[in-house]
């Protein structure tokens, strides 16, 4: 009976304990040995948002979830995956919110139209200004 | 007693602001001329009352009066005295009270000393200033009373966010606020000038010191804020295009543009409508910044005020001020002509070009900051970060830097590029050589590469305006310009170096273990517990050796505060002339190893040296302008005095 109780308790306790007691993912705080790959991973991590904190990239975050994401990124980079493919995979899982590099879409096109608009506006302003002078 | 006294002073100050607004407006009509006399004294007393109210709040915080809600929520009796003092504005209510106190004092100061403008313009300016202040008084009194008492005093306060218990941050918000308030005065001048249609050099000269002062404080505030983020948040980054950072950058961009167009208006009587418009925009950006930070609409590292009711109040104020100002501008636009003409190759043209570029950068930052809020309102969350801002801003920054090298060499009105070409050959050669050297020796990253080459060129070009001048006769504002432009080059160099050459090393080290980061050899000598006034910490003793030099001790800590309970990592920096070693102590692993994060960041302190240089340039210009104004006033008084004697 007692043994059964212990087993039942263990079954219920295991998922609880797993949250904190599991060691962090292998590459959460460990760099890849190949500096070129690590630089590639670092560049990608700096543009991914930590979903558990406020306005930090996963490269800068102490949150356990960011550590897991770092580990994922490093392992996938080490396995030879393309950074943009990894970004795509993360966006698929967590939505557009996870990437600091907004992707062109029906939702975000104004972000990319804005600089063009500003360029055009600046050109018009400057042209008008100088044309008026020229004719004066 | 002190709390009630402070609240009463605040109510009286608000009443006087209302009086100042009414009297100032009536004095502009033909029948109300009798009110003109009281506007200036009322403005002075209003400022003093607001200051009194703020002093009362400081006293409450210094004494840790726990019957006052604000103190109980944000302070703690065991906090070091300096943070009790600085904690006064480390919260929403206190910082808004600081804002109105500074705004009231600035208005009082204008009322006391400003004699260059026509009296009606000054009255309109003071009325405008009272209008702005009044909104903030109402906001404080109705929606965020700092002096509210608790029904029962509590035994102990809740303490101040440990991240804010830091000298850098203690003085970062007030510095920014001084900048915002300076821009509110510039805004009031713009309103005054629009009301009386006196948009000309006199208006620009009256407004310029305030714009300069505001710009100096904004520059220092942003520099301090970025340094704080760098060493306190423990991730070695100095700018993340975080919405709160952007909130302080936007007014700075507008103020920088305003500063330059103000100079054109003052000395050339050109760009009248543009200058007034920028005056409105600069203050609008301060209000947008305040709204973003204070409303809690953002969830970001800095946001420590979350209350939607307040947000809508600030938004309403923003709409009233900006809407009102723009309406006034539209009504008067036909009467404000653009002023003197100039050719496309002239100093004015260079300044106009860079004004437009600065405005475009401002547009990018504004859109990038607000866009995620807009999509979130429609239920879709997106993030906009460095990968968007860096290239988009560079689109406009690079042409701006190029024009910045040539602009100060051009003459007013009309000039030819051929005349300045020989002087520009030097910086052009330097940029070319730097680009060549960098593509050969460095890993290719386009933006930092361009940044570094342009920084090298600009550093030299910034001194060219002094060429052929008698240095002793050169006016101080010219030196100011040279120093500020050189500061831009220095900061840009630091930025480019940081993103090009930083080396990072993460490791789990046993005590006694040695590692390499860049040219440094670092040994973890020990990890020891230490205690402070309201925290305990684990401190790593790192022996850091640069190449073959003697080792230096760096001691990063992992601090645990107990009121409120929170852990922060205190980085330890070792600064050399050619860069900074940045060390952070992380968590302990099970097997007795310690997580360490180490960076070698070549030339990174240049970013902040540059910021300080830019502000110093502003200070030189301000001293020069104020000194010239004083001399002019003294000379005029002398003439008046002589005339009076001769007349007798």
Cα(A135)–Cα(A112) distance, integer angstroms = 35
Considering only the beta carbons, identify the residue of A102, A115, A130 that sits closest to B364. Answer: A115
Alpha carbon separation from B177 to B10, B20, B213 (Å, rounded): 19, 23, 12
- What's the pLDDT score for residue A14? 44
Q: What confidence tens digit (pLDDT) does each residue in B29-83 have?
A: 877 777 778 888 899 999 999 999 999 999 998 888 888 888 888 888 777 888 8
Q: What confidence tens digit (pLDDT) does each residue in B472-509 have?
A: 888 888 999 999 999 999 999 999 988 888 888 888 88
- Judged against a pLDDT cut of 70, whether residue B442 lies above it is answered with no
Do both A32 and A72 map to the same domain?
A: yes
Burial class (CB in 10 A: 0-12, 13-18, 19+), B319: exposed
Do both A95 and A65 map to the same domain?
A: yes
Q: How far is A14 from chain B (nearest CA, A)?
A: 19
Cα(B551)–Cα(B542) distance, integer angstroms = 9
Q: What confidence tens digit (pLDDT) does each residue in B623-645 have?
A: 998 888 888 888 888 888 888 88
Long-range contacts of B497-500 (CB under 8 A, 24+ apart): B497/B448, B497/B452, B497/B579, B497/B601, B497/B602, B497/B603, B497/B604, B497/B606, B498/B238, B498/B601, B498/B602, B498/B603, B498/B604, B498/B607, B499/B445, B499/B447, B499/B448, B500/B442, B500/B443, B500/B445, B500/B448, B500/B449, B500/B452
Do both A67 and A123 map to the same domain?
A: no
Do both A61 and A113 map to the same domain?
A: no
List all residues of chain A from 45 to 64 with a beta carbon under 8 Å from chain B.
46-47, 49, 53-57, 59-62
Alpha carbon separation from B637 to B99, B207, B630 (Å, rounded): 36, 22, 11
Q: Which of B128, B130, B125 is nearest to B113 (CA)?
A: B125
Q: What residues of A are in contact with residue B352 (Cβ under 8 Å)?
A: 126, 129
Cα(B263)–Cα(B325) distance, integer angstroms = 22
Alpha carbon separation from B64 to B82, B167, B457 (Å, rounded): 12, 19, 54
CB-based contacts of B306, cutoff 8 Å, min separation 6: B296
pLDDT, average across residues B2-31: 89
Chain B residue with Cα closest to A22: B590
Both tokens assigned to B473: 């006769």
Considering only the beta carbons, identify the residue of A30, A47, A130 that sits closest to B385. Answer: A47
Cα-to-chain-centroid distance, residue A103:
13
A54 and B303: CB-CB below 8 Å?
A: yes
Q: What residues of B are in contact with residue A133 (Cβ under 8 Å)?
A: 341-344
B300 and A54: CB-CB below 8 Å?
A: yes
- What's the pLDDT score for residue B216? 95
Considering only the beta carbons, identify the residue of A55, A98, A100 that sits closest to B300. Answer: A55
Average per-residue pLDDT in chain B?
A: 85
CB-based contacts of B37, cutoff 8 Å, min separation 6: none
Cα(B380)–Cα(A106) distance, integer angstroms = 11
B385 and A108: CB-CB below 8 Å?
A: no
Cα(B547)–Cα(B549) distance, integer angstroms = 6
- Judged against a pLDDT cut of 90, whether residue B465 lies above it is answered with no
B386 and A47: CB-CB below 8 Å?
A: yes
- What's the pLDDT score for residue B302? 43
- What's the pLDDT score for residue A5? 52
Average per-residue pLDDT in chain A?
A: 77
| Most confident among A16-25, B287-296, B528-537 (mean pLDDT) | B528-537
Q: How far is B387 from chain A (nearest CA, A)?
A: 5
Interface ipTM > 0.90 = no
- Judged against a pLDDT cut of 60, whether residue B194 lies above it is answered with yes
Confidence category of residue B534, pLDDT binned at 50, 70, 90: confident
Do both A80 and A126 map to the same domain?
A: no
B386 and A46: CB-CB below 8 Å?
A: yes
Alpha carbon separation from A88 to A73, A83, B387 (Å, rounded): 12, 9, 15
Q: What is the 8-class DSSP label of residue A49?
A: B
Considering only the beta carbons, identify the residue of A60, A61, A97 that sits closest to B383. Answer: A97
Do both A73 and A93 map to the same domain?
A: yes
Cα(B454)–Cα(B144) distance, integer angstroms = 47
Do both A41 and A25 map to the same domain?
A: yes
Ordered DSSP codes for B67-81: TBHHHHHH--TTS-H
pLDDT, average across residues A112-132: 81
Q: Which of B474, B480, B466 is nearest to B622 (CA)?
A: B480
CB-based contacts of B626, cutoff 8 Å, min separation 6: B209
Q: What confidence tens digit (pLDDT) does each residue in B86-110 have?
A: 888 878 888 889 989 999 999 998 8
- What's the pLDDT score for residue A106? 80
Burial class (CB in 10 A: 0-12, 13-18, 19+), B381: middle
Q: What confidence tens digit (pLDDT) does each residue in B365-386 have?
A: 999 998 888 887 777 788 898 8
- Count of domains forming chain A: 2
- Judged against a pLDDT cut of 60, whether residue B532 lies above it is answered with yes
- What's the pLDDT score for residue B488? 94
Do both A18 and A56 map to the same domain?
A: yes
- Tell me how far apart the 2 most distant CA atoms of chain B are, in Å: 96
Do both A130 and A77 map to the same domain?
A: no
Cα(B184)–Cα(B425) distance, integer angstroms = 42
pLDDT, average across residues A57-72: 84
Q: At what angle do helices B36-63 and B119-138 cross, to 10 degrees?
A: 30
Confidence category of residue A135, pLDDT binned at 50, 70, 90: very low
- Judged against a pLDDT cut of 90, whether residue B548 lies above it is answered with no
Q: How far is B448 from chain A (nearest CA, A)?
A: 14
Q: Which of B258, B262, B273, B491 is nearest to B397 (CA)?
A: B491
- Judged against a pLDDT cut of 80, whether residue A55 lies above it is answered with no
| Element of type H or E holding B383 | none
Structural domain span for residue A51: 2-103
Residue A84, chain B, CB below 8 Å: the answer is no
Do both A33 and A72 map to the same domain?
A: yes
- What's the pLDDT score for residue B44? 92
Q: What residues of A are in contact with residue B392 (Cβ under 8 Å)?
A: 115
Q: What residues of B are in contact with residue A56 (Cβ under 8 Å)?
A: 235, 240, 301
pLDDT, average across residues B593-614: 91
- Judged against a pLDDT cut of 80, whether residue B239 lies above it is answered with yes
- Judged against a pLDDT cut of 90, whether residue B112 lies above it is answered with no
Q: What confidence tens digit (pLDDT) does each residue in A80-93 have?
A: 888 899 998 988 88
């Amino acid at each position: 009976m007692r043994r059964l109780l212990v087993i039942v308790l263990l079954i219920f306790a295991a998922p609880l304990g797993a949250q904190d007691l599991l060691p962090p993912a292998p590459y959460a705080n460990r760099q890849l040995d190949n500096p070129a790959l690590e630089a590639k991973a670092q560049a990608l991590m700096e543009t991914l948002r930590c979903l558990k904190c406020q306005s930090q990239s996963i490269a800068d975050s102490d949150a356990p979830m960011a550590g897991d994401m770092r580990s994922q990124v490093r392992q996938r980079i080490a396995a030879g995956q393309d950074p943009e493919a990894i970004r795509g995979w993360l966006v698929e899982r967590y939505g557009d919110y996870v990437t600091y590099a907004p992707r062109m879409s029906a939702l975000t096109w104004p972000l990319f139209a804005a600089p063009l608009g500003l360029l055009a506006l600046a050109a018009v302003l400057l042209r008008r200004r100088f044309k008026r002078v020229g004719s004066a | 007693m002190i709390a009630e006294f402070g609240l009463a002073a605040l109510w009286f100050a608000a009443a006087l602001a209302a009086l100042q607004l009414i009297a100032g407006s009536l004095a502009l009509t033909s029948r109300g001329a009798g009110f003109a006399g009281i506007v200036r004294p009322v403005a002075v007393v209003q400022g003093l009352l607001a200051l009194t109210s703020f002093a009362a709040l400081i006293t409450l915080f210094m004494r840790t009066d726990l019957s006052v809600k604000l103190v109980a929520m944000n302070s703690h009796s065991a906090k070091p005295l300096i943070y009790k003092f600085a904690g006064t504005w480390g919260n929403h209510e206190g910082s808004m009270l600081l804002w109105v106190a500074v705004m009231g004092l600035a208005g009082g100061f204008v009322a006391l000393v400003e004699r260059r403008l026509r009296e009606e313009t000054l009255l309109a300016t003071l009325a405008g200033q009272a209008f702005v202040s009044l909104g903030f008084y109402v906001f404080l009194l109705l929606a965020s009373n700092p002096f509210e008492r608790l029904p029962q005093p509590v035994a102990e306060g809740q303490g101040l966010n440990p991240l804010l218990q830091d000298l850098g941050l203690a003085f970062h918000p007030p510095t920014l606020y001084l900048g915002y308030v300076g821009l509110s005065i510039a805004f009031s001048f713009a309103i005054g000038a629009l009301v009386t249609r006196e948009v000309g050099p006199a208006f620009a000269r009256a407004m310029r010191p305030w714009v300069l002062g505001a710009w100096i404080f904004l520059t220092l505030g942003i520099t301090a804020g970025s340094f704080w983020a760098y060493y306190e948040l423990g991730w070695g980054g100095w700018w993340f295009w975080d919405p709160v950072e952007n909130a302080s950058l936007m007014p700075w961009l507008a103020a920088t543009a305003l500063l330059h167009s103000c100079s054109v208006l003052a000395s050339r009587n050109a760009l009248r409508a543009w200058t007034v418009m920028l005056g409105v925009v600069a203050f609008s950006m301060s209000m947008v910044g305040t709204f973003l930070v204070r409303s809690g609409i953002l969830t970001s590292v800095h946001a420590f005020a979350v209350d939607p009711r307040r947000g809508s109040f600030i938004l309403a104020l923003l709409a009233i001020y900006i809407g009102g100002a723009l309406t006034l501008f539209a009504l008067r636009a036909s009467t404000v002509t653009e002023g003197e003409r100039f050719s496309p190759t002239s100093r004015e043209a260079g300044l106009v070009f860079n004004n437009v570029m600065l405005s475009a950068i401002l547009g990018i930052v504004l859109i990038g900051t607000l866009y995620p809020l807009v999509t979130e309102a429609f239920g879709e969350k997106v993030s906009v970060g460095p990968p968007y801002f860096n290239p988009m801003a560079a689109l406009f920054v690079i042409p701006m830097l190029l024009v910045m090298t040539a602009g100060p060499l051009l003459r007013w009105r009309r000039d030819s590029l051929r005349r300045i070409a020989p002087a520009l050959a030097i910086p052009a050669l330097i940029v070319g050589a730097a680009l060549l050297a960098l593509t050969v020796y460095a890993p290719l990253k386009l933006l930092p590469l361009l940044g570094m080459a342009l920084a090298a060129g600009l550093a030299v070009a910034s001194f060219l305006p002094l060429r052929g001048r008698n240095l002793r006769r050169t006016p101080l504002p010219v030196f100011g310009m040279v120093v500020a432009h050189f500061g831009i080059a220095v900061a840009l160099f630091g930025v480019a170096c940081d993103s090009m050459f930083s080396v990072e090393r993460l490791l789990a080290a046993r005590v006694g273990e040695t590692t390499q980061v860049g040219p440094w050899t670092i040994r973890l000598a020990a990890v020891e517990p230490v205690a402070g006034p309201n925290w305990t910490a684990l401190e790593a003793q790192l022996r850091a050796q640069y190449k073959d030099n003697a080792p230096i001790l760096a001691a990063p800590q992992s601090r645990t505060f107990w009121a409120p309970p929170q852990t922060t990592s205190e980085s330890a920096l070792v600064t050399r002339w050619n860069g900074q070693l940045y060390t952070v102590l992380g968590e302990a692993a099970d097997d007795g190893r310690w997580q360490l994060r180490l960076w070698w960041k070549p030339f990174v302190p240049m970013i902040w040296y540059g910021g300080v240089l830019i502000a110093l340039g502003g200070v030189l210009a301000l001293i020069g302008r104020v000194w010239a104004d004083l001399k002019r006033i003294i000379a005029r008084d002398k003439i008046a005095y002589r005339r009076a004697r001769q007349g007798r």
